[in-house]
Amino acid sequence: MKRIFSIASVLAVCALVALAVLAVLPGSKAKQSGLIGGQQDPTIVNTSHKPVNTDLGAVKKKDGAKQVYLTFDDGPTPGYTAEVLGDLKAAGAHATFFEVGKHMMGEQDLMKAILQNGNQIGIHTWSHADLATVTWGETYNQIQQTRIQLTNETGDVSYIVRYPYFIEGPYGASVTKALHLGVAWSDISPEDWSATTSNQQIIATVMKHVFPGATIGLHDGNGPLPGPPGNRETPAYLPGLLGALKAAGYQFGVLRNASPTQ
């Protein structure tokens, strides 16, 4: 009888511990928008700024070089990503592409082309999911299936993730920790996806806010994503943006493709 009571006590303690763990699980965290240096900037509505994790993904040059980290989300897109790659190559620039798993299917050559010339590929989930709305298992599958697809198509292995819409959801942090992945946020997101943002505005917004080490959120995709169709005319503004950044003395780095635990 004494032994049974003891087992019951242990179970009760386990239940309490489980409740405590559940209590500290992260809630859904849509990131704050448009915060630059702690000030709300109405020109950058969709920027997520989380300095610790942004730095975590980037390799800062030790020689004092002014570097920016261009990132392109939502591709690969046939007939579009190749133009972006051509613009980068012409300017001697590199970038990190956060690609959608289902857009990778059948695009082996395009993805291998991205990896050439020093570019990097990161993960942007399988179907551009809103991670605020899915379970832990679905969050895991959205990320891990895309990693597997990337490896199957190219042999490359990615350790970096960008959440769609910069929404971590209730399980993003837990899943990326379990998979030993780094999360890439963005310092400047000039809304190049929006039909109401002109190419001149995109360049002006980046040049107004750029700083050494900044990660810049752009797009190389025009896939069937939720929401109104944007202009997504990256090849129309990219040469001008690259020229303006170079004229300001910036070089172009890629985010470090490695687990934060490495």
**Residue nearer to Zn ion on the CB measure, 67 or 194:** 194
Q: Which residue number places its CB atom closest to Zn ion?
A: 73
Distance CA 168, CA 152 (A): 26
Half-sphere exposure of 258 (CA within 13 A, CB side): 8
Which of 179, 207, 182, 202 shows the shortest CA–CA distance to 192? 202
C-beta closer to Zn ion: residue 221 or 253? 221
Residue 214 C-beta: closest distance to Zn ion, Å? 19
Question: With the C-alpha atoms ordered 212, 210, 240, 120, is the resulting torsion angle positive or negative?
Answer: positive
**Shortest reach from residue 230's CB to Zn ion, in Å:** 11
Of the pair 74, 107, the CB lying nearest Zn ion is at: 74
Instruction: Looking at the chain, list the stretches that DSSP marks H as alpha helix, in order from N- to C-terminal side.
Output: 2-24, 51-57, 81-91, 101-104, 108-115, 136-154, 172-178, 199-209, 234-247
CB of 98 to Zn ion, least distance (A): 7
Q: Least distance to Zn ion from the beta carbon of 163, Å?
A: 9
Q: Which pair of tokens denotes residue 157? A: 């292995």
Question: Given the complex with Zn ion, which of 74 and 87 has the nearer CB atom?
Answer: 74
CA distances from 61 to 17, 94, 103, 207 (A): 45, 14, 32, 21
Least Å from the CB of residue 204 to Zn ion: 22
Residues in contact with Zn ion by CB under 5 A are 73-74, 164
Using the minimum distance from each CB to Zn ion, give the nearer residue, 57 or 250: 57
Prior bond to 76 cis, omega within 30? yes
Bridge partners, 68 (sequence order): 252
